[in-house]
Every structure is written in structure tokens, then in C-alpha cells.
Structure 1
Amino acid sequence: MGLAQQKNAARVVIVGGGVAGLEIATALGKQRLPHNASVTLVDADSAHVWKPMLHTIAAGTRDLAQQQTTYLAQATDAHFAFQPGAMSGLDRERQEIILNPIITDDGRELVPARRIGYDKLIIAIGSGANDFGTPGVLEHCYMIDSRRKADDFNQEIRLRMLRSMTDGKTLQVAIVGGGATGVELAAELVQLSESAEAYGALGKAAKFQIVLIESGPRILASFPEEISAATQKRLAALGVTVLLNRKVQAAQADGLVLDGEELIPAGLSVWAAGVKAPAFLSTLGLPTTRGHQLIVNDDLQTADPNIYAVGDCASYTLPGESTPLPPTAQVAHQQARYVIELLPKVLDSTHAYAGKGFAYRDFGALVSLANYDAYGSLGKFGLFNGGLIKGRMAMLSHIWLYRSHQARLYGFWRGGLLWLVDLINSRLRPSIRLD
């Protein structure tokens, strides 16, 4: 390939290595794109964890090292480039993204602020919890919406378990948000407590009292009412206290202040309510929602035809619908598949290319209560239109979603080997993180 060809090669840049971003980078990197286009993934972190699994990392019921995908290793295997850094801005005229400098914990600047040029840009930076401006949340509550934050919470809860062993006091954990993340974290913490008991004095002393606080009339509001009721009943049987129709007014070091000035004491507070995209997206000069999501068209393009947005940071409303698609891994995966199919055709076209339009199929939703139970609603199509599943069938369906994601990243055989390794480790290693 001559120098002129190299200079003219299109540059595909993907910002965000979550479900959508990493699947797009892997698929495009493995195929030969038209005109030798290059693929670069940019992310502020060094590794990826499937987001629906973060609550297990936070509780320590799964090993972070086993479940993460390191970007540099994946880039080598899938033939794309990886650049570390957090996007902070966009120069649309020069077609460059702006990255913050990389700073160490002790304040040293490892890498200065820099720019990366693109011809086609895919923004897939996900979302985080929304504190709704509630006083004290950022100072006193943990969030588990990223790999690093989930690991930080896990380190802290293990320290608190050690303290409980020495002072004999019960640790109360308050979780704000009765969506899937809050519900699943509550169940995982119950499993952590019960598993710890098998390891001697630490477990006997480190009992939890878990309070789950939901501002609405029921938990799992996006699920059918039957699943919400069954899940709440199961949580109660596991010892979790569920408070409904209660809003958090403020967070303090010693707990959460609810409406009516009632204080819920808590040694640890977790904020798992609400979803919002990074605020800087609203400064890029592109239309966004109040939650900073980039508004996209049927081809998942923003107002700039060279910039696409997918996953939690994108807002797309299906034709005939009044509300946008929810920020779920299912939506992110389907949008990724559409971009993977569309982009090579766009790059190969000498004129503006319009795809057939993104079509979403609702395959239902699942919630897993650790090893205790699981519930799911089936998609609204086919023979099982809107049906419900529970127990082992729902658990296996939840596992299959994760293993399918791994297969898309590593391939069928390597993904299967990773599943086998996990099964072996579950028999040989402690069931919870104890280091």
C-alpha cells in the first residue's frame, strides 16, 4: 500500500468501550473495511466489563480479573488500535476529538491533552447514575456504573466487613433505586453475607441489614407487575427491607434523609437510581436531550452525518412511539449490530448512503437475584408473546446473554473455553472475593 493510499484511508474512531463500542470495534477490526479504513477505540479505562455484571463485581461474588476484557489485548486479537483517554470535546470543523490529559492519582501528568482525527465517529460512551441534584450524594454515596466504581465499592465493603468482625456491629447498607441494578445488588449482598459465613469468624460477624429505597409505587417499574410483586416477596424472604414511595432528600455520612426528615441509618450508601449521559455531550453543538443523550435518526446518526451515537448515550425514538428506547444492554447490542452492517457500506459508497433504518426487536427483560432466583418477561413477538419465565429457566437465559456477548468478542470456541474456565474456577476458588 502506497503512502498516498495510507493518507486517504478513512479513519473510524469509536469512543467508549462498553457493550456497543467494543462489539463494533471488534467486528469492524476483524473484517477488511473498504479502502483500508482504520479502526481506533478510545476509552478512559483500561478494560471492559459487561455492564449488567457490575453488581456482582461490586459485591465480590465474581472475580473482576476473570470477567474483564483488557482493551490492549482485545485490540491486538481483533486488529484495531486502542488509545487511552477521556473525551472532553469535539472539533467538528477539523474532525477531531479532544481528549483530557491522563493524570495519575498523585497528580503527575502522564499524557498531555491531545486530539485524534476521524472521518467517521461513533460515540458510545454509555451513561451513569443520575443523582438528580440531591445534596450529599456525590460525597457520601457509592455508585457502581463503571468497572472502577464497582471495584471501589467492593474494596470498601470488604474493609467494613473486617471492621464488623472486630467491633461486632451489624453493617447496614442502603441502596437507592429499585431498578434492576439496585434489586440485583441487594440480592448479591445477601449472597455475599451468607457465603462469608462459611469462612469462619469474619462471616459470623459480618452480617448485613439491607434497605432498598424506591421513589415509585413498585420496584422494577419497567417489568410486568407480576414480576415486581414476586421479586419484592423474594427479597423480603432474603431479609431485604424494601421501602416504596419514599424519596431521598439528602445523603449524609451516617445515612439517608427521606421525605418527612426520616433518617435511614447506613454505614454504606449506594446510589443506583436514574440514568444520564455525560454532561459534556451537551456542549458539542449537537442536539441532545435533558439527560445529555445525543438525538439520532433512523441510521443512528446525529445532526452531523459523520457522527453516530449508540447505546445509553444515544436517544432514539421508534417511528410511531412517543418515548425513546430504554438505556439497556439489549438496545446497545442491537444498535451495534446495525452500525456494524451499515458502516462498511457507507465507507464504500462514493455518495451519501442511507441504510434501511434501525429496527428494534424487544426480546424481553431479565432480573437475577444472585443464586436464589430469577425472573424474566419474554418479548412481544412469536409464540411466547409477553410470557413470563422464572427460576432455572430465567437464570439460564441470563447466563446465556453474557456468554453470547463473550462469543461476539472472542469467537465461539474461545468464548466457550472461557465459560469452561469459569465453571472450573467456581469449583476450585472461593465463592467470594476474600483478598
Structure 2
Amino acid sequence: MQVGVQAGAQTEAQTGHRIVVVGGGAGGLELATRLGDSLGKRGAAKVVLIDRAPTHIWKPLLHEVAAGSMDPNTHQLEYAAQARWHHFEFQQGELLGLDRVARTVSVAACHDEDGIEVLPARAIAYDTLVLAIGSVTHDFGVPGAAEHAIKLDTAAQAERFRRRLIAACMRAENRIGQQDVVRPTVDVAIIGAGATGVELSAELRNTAYVLGAYGLHHLDPKQDVRIHIVEAGPRILPALSERVSGETTKLLRRLNIEVLTGERVTEVREDAVLTASGKTVPADLTVWAAGITAPKVLGTLGLPVNRMGQIEVEQTLLVRGEDSIYAFGDCASCAWPEMNTTVPPRAQAAHQQASFLVKAIRTRLQGGVAPEFRFRDFGSLVSLGRFSAVGNLMGGLIGGSMLIEGLLARIMYASLYRMHVMALHGPLRMALDTVIHWLRNKTRPRVKLH
């Protein structure tokens, strides 16, 4: 899909400088929106956003989509509509290549659900290029993972898991394939105990209760729907503090979620997960949430990448050795000098970098000196659905790190998504969107049932 800046499209001579943003995730879409409002609206530059999908959904919501507690159709944003509202152009297609001499990016053709081509392959010219294509789940080549484990990189994958979960519960209810057992069960194995795996486990426990309430099964939602988290490291939530990890483990175990740490997965089978210690974890459904890696296409562009495939950037977020190509978010490796490491792949980092690039690109277009990016860690929050939330806040106001949990943490976690919506639409539309979704939730089931 291709959408012009406005109904009466401006000419190339009027728009001048072409800024192309590849990737419509949290950071890329925020960047294109704000550049469109500040530069595209007044004709100071032409802003183009490229993404392989026609719609955007905030990736931290995908575990809720997988559990059925969120209908993706009500939270997806059409790129074409956002482009029309905020004075940029949208081009649908997957990134295939980069020609740095001609200053063009190659975009793949798009096909409909019947395989018929609807958009041709094409080359899109740029003066300034920004790469923000995020990350994908990494299964580390474990045998059977690609065939039998579902990843949660897209709304379609999350929806596939939800449908399979409901089907598994209905099969167990009717003892299909379990005629000889005393009590039918549904086993869900989640490989990886980072934020996605932990949040999904709690949402699934809530889903088990709700599906039973709506009569889709008469299983005991706490005993017969069995949830297992398998983590290779010594504790869950390894990116957070030991205190947050410990409190979260206690909460999960109170929900009767089995937490297995120090268990490296060696094989994923259709009905089980095998570990290096010899354990066999039963699994009617398996989710792989154990790690991330950069998309493979980044290694074909001729740009410097690290061992994870991320593009190496300077503190200005310019790609090393380049003067017109930026990269940010999960696909970029940016130094964090204060911590002697790199900026972590989190939504808050992408948001901060998008805000930085709005100012940096405008400064460069005006002939100014490019500033340097500095990441500020405000802490992390993990949602356990309706049961609780836990996390830590960091910053100068509290003088270090502070553990929070319960209602306060749940409110703050919900506010993260609202801040993303506000960055895309402004405070008024964000407030209206909040009210509309609250009213919609009062008139529909708590879990998507079909």
C-alpha cells in the first residue's frame, strides 16, 4: 500500500530532502509521525515509512493477544491512516537490500492472501535513511523448535497460539486423545523466562479461568491447565534485579505455574520439551520466548554488524562509517558508556532514541552539529495480568532503584502503552482512545473466544 503525504500530493521540488524510515515498530512509527508533523507538514522534507505489514501493534502487547485477553483488531493502527493524518508517505514491503552509492533501498513485492501480486518490487530513494526493523525471536537452532514451537513476533503468530490454546482445552474437555487418563489436562510449555515468557504465563492462567467460566471447558483452571516456564539461566527475568526476579517467582508459584530454572532445552517435540538434565516437560503447546536476534537482512546490507547481527552505530546513532544512515532500536548496537555495555533492547530505549532522532535530523538539516544520544534507564515493569505487576523504578528522583508491585505497578505498566498512544496521536486522542477501550471492554467477553 502506498499513501501520499496529503490528498493533493506535494511535488518533489517542494518536499526536497527525502527521509526514509524502514520499520514501523514502536520507535520507527513514532519517528515517522513526529518527522511528518514537524517537517513533512510544512514541506521541509518528504518522510517515507516502509514496513512489510499494513498495520502496527505495540509489540509488548502480543502476549495479551496470545492469551486472548486483548483483541488485536481493536489495538492495531493502519499505517495508511497514520500517514494521512501525520503528513508522511507509507510504502508496504519487506526490506531486501541497500544501494549506498545510488542511495536507494530495495523493497519486496507484496501479495494478497491468494498469492497474487498487488504491489511490485521497487527501489525507494533516500537522502537520509533510518533503519528501525527491530528484532526477531532466536531459537538458537534447537532441534524441533522451528517446527513445533510458536514464536510471538507478530499478531498473526499470537492469534495462532490463541486459537490452538482454545482448541486444546476443548479437546481435553471432550477427552479427545486422552481417553485412558484419569483427569484430562492441557500442558503449555514456555521456553524462556524473560518479560515475554513471564507475562504470558500469568495471562494464560487468567485465560484458563475465563474459558471455564464461558463453558468452553470444565477443567480445573489451576490444576488441569498446567503451565511450565523453562529457563536456561539460574533465575527468571535475568535482565532485572534479583529482588524483582525473586518476588515474581513467588507470585508465579502462587498461581501454580511451574518454574524450571537452570534447564537448557535440547529438543522440542510435538508433545514435549526435552532439557539437558534429562527432564521431559509435557507440552500440548510450546512457545519459544528464549532470546532475540537481529533480522538476517541486516547482514546483507554491507553495514558493520556485531555478533548478534545488530548494526553498529556511533553515539549520534549514525551507522559507523556512514554520514546519512541511522539505525536505532533492537536492530542497532549503541554504546551505553555509563554502564560499560550497550543500550538494552527495550521499548523505552526505542522511544528515547526516536525522540532523539527527531531533534538530531532536524539539526542536521539546518546545518548544525549532530548531538550524542544518552540512554536513561527508568526501570522495568512486568505485568502478571489481573493478578499483579512487579518491577523496579530507577532515576534521580528516587536516588537509585525501588521495587514496586501490586496496584501501583499495574497502573504504571498500563500507562506505558498509553504513553505510546499519546506519542502517535497526542493527548486528546489518547484520552478518547482510553475511554473507548474501557467502554468496549465492558460490553465484550474478557477473553477473545473465536
State which of 231, 242, 248 in structure 2 corresponds to 1:214: 231
State which of 346, 362, 365 in structure 2 corresponds to 1:347: 365
Q: Which moved more, 1:107-116 or 1:400-409?
A: 107-116
Cα distance in 2 between the residues matched to 1:203 and 1:367: 30
Report Cα offsets for 1:231-262 as digits up to 9, x if no partner. 11111111110101000001111221111343
Q: Identify the residue that residue 109 of structure 2 maps to in structure 1.
A: 101
Q: Identify the residue that residue 308 of structure 1 maps to in structure 2.
A: 326
Q: Identify the residue that residue 190 of structure 1 maps to in structure 2.
A: 205
Deviation (angstroms), 1:319: 2.5
Q: Which moved more, 1:402-411 or 1:96-105?
A: 96-105
Query: Counterparts of 1:110-125 in structure 2 under 5 Å?
Result: 110-125=118-133
User: SS at 1:379's partner residue?
Assistant: strand
Report Cα offsets for 1:203-225 as digits up to 9, x if no partner. 54775211000001100111111
Deviation (angstroms), 1:320: 4.8
Query: Counterparts of 1:268-283 in structure 2 under 5 Å?
Result: 268-283=285-300
Q: Identify the residue that residue 368 of structure 1 maps to in structure 2.
A: 383
State which of 402, 409, 412 in structure 2 corresponds to 1:387: 402
Task: Tell me if structure 2 keeps the 8 A contact 1:174–1:266.
Answer: yes
User: SS at 1:233's partner residue?
Assistant: helix
Give 1:367's aligned amino acid.
V
TM-score (norm 1): 0.95
Gaps of 5+ in 2: 1-8, 177-183
Task: Tell me if structure 1 keeps the 8 A contact 2:363–2:369.
Answer: no
Q: Identify the residue that residue 276 of structure 2 maps to in structure 1.
A: 259
Task: Tell me if structure 1 keeps the 8 A contact 2:219–2:225.
Answer: no
User: SS at 2:39's partner residue?
Assistant: coil
Q: Which moved more, 1:34-43 or 1:330-339?
A: 34-43
Cα distance in 1 between the residues matched to 2:169 and 2:399: 44
Cα distance in 2 between the residues matched to 1:155 and 1:41: 32
Q: Identify the residue that residue 175 of structure 1 maps to in structure 2.
A: 190
State which of 82, 85, 88 in structure 1 corresponds to 2:93: 85
Give 1:30's aligned amino acid.
D
Q: Identify the residue that residue 181 of structure 2 maps to in structure 1.
A: none
Deviation (angstroms), 1:288: 0.6
Structure 2 CA distance for partners of 1:201 and 1:126, relative to 1, 3 Å = closer
Deviation (angstroms), 1:166: 2.4
Deviation (angstroms), 1:164: 2.6
Structure 2 CA distance for partners of 1:52 and 1:4, relative to 1, 3 Å = closer
User: SS at 2:187's partner residue?
Assistant: strand
Q: Which moved more, 1:94-103 or 1:78-87?
A: 94-103
State which of 139, 148, 159 in structure 2 corresponds to 1:131: 139
Task: Tell me if structure 2 keeps the 8 A contact 1:130–1:276.
Answer: yes
Deviation (angstroms), 1:321: 3.8
Give 2:255's aligned amino acid.
L
Q: Identify the residue that residue 215 of structure 2 maps to in structure 1.
A: 200
Q: Which moved more, 1:50-59 or 1:147-156?
A: 147-156
User: SS at 1:40's partner residue?
Assistant: strand
Cα distance in 2 between the residues matched to 1:273 and 1:330: 20
Q: Identify the residue that residue 250 of structure 1 maps to in structure 2.
A: 267
Task: Tell me if structure 2 keeps the 8 A contact 1:378–1:384.
Answer: no
TM-score (norm 2): 0.92
Cα distance in 2 between the residues matched to 1:9 and 1:63: 41
Report Cα offsets for 1:269-328 as digits up to 9, x if no partner. 000011111011011111111111111111101022111111100110123543211100
Q: Identify the residue that residue 301 of structure 2 maps to in structure 1.
A: 284
Deviation (angstroms), 1:92: 0.8
Q: Identify the residue that residue 425 of structure 1 maps to in structure 2.
A: 440
Cα distance in 2 between the residues matched to 1:174 and 1:36: 52
User: SS at 1:31's partner residue?
Assistant: helix
Q: Which moved more, 1:259-268 or 1:71-80?
A: 259-268
Query: Counterparts of 1:36-115 in structure 2 under 5 Å?
Result: 36-115=44-123
The question of 1:403 aligning with 2:418 is answered yes
Deviation (angstroms), 1:377: 0.6
Report Cα offsets for 1:349-380 as digits up to 9, x if no partner. 2xxx4322101111000001001011111114
Identity of aligned residues (%): 39
State which of 350, 372, 377 in structure 1 corresponds to 2:392: 377
Cα distance in 1 between the residues matched to 2:101 and 2:331: 22
User: SS at 1:202's partner residue?
Assistant: coil
Q: Identify the residue that residue 241 of structure 1 maps to in structure 2.
A: 258
Deviation (angstroms), 1:345: 1.8
Structure 2 CA distance for partners of 1:255 and 1:5, relative to 1, 3 Å = same
User: SS at 2:50's partner residue?
Assistant: strand
Cα distance in 1 between the residues matched to 2:12 and 2:88: 21
Structure 2 CA distance for partners of 1:408 and 1:395, relative to 1, 3 Å = same
Task: Tell me if structure 1 keeps the 8 A contact 2:228–2:257.
Answer: yes
Give 2:21's aligned amino acid.
I
Q: Identify the residue that residue 6 of structure 2 maps to in structure 1.
A: none
Cα distance in 1 between the residues matched to 2:355 and 2:387: 33
Deviation (angstroms), 1:65: 1.1
